[in-house]
Structure 1
Amino acid sequence: MATHEQPATPSGPVRQTGEVSLWFGRNVGLDVRVKLTSRGILAIGGLVSSILLSTAVLVAVSVRESNR
């Protein structure tokens, strides 16, 4: 008797899906759908962390310059 088993790992990239629906008042709305792979999520995490780190550096420099 032959058994047909599914492979343990998917053949293509696994996609994560997110949806957001925003309404501003009664007449204005926005629907957004995003599909990302795990590489995309890591890339976005890297971009956000670099923005936060650069902001911290800018704040530290501006505080140091204002104390002179």
Structure 2
Amino acid sequence: VLLYSTPAYWSQPYHTSALTGRQWVEELIQGHPDRIYNELGMRLHVFNAFVWELRLHGMTNSRYCTI
């Protein structure tokens, strides 16, 4: 119980990757299969199907987003 009440326990950062955007997504895709699930809530094959559906429905790259 004491462990949970100390500020060092509950204020520890979780997302500590120095990468942002596309590099972060590529790291998830190429990394351990559980990592993409933990970060995005879906397995790699589901993520790939999601991207395919976005493209199928006309979503294309923009200035700030690469599909």
TM over 0.5: no
Determine which structure has the larger helix proportion and give its number.
Answer: 2
Q: Which has the higher contact order (CA 8 A, sep 6+)?
A: 1
Q: TM-score, normalised by structure 2?
A: 0.30
TM-score, normalised to structure 1, is 0.29
Greater C-alpha radius of gyration: 1
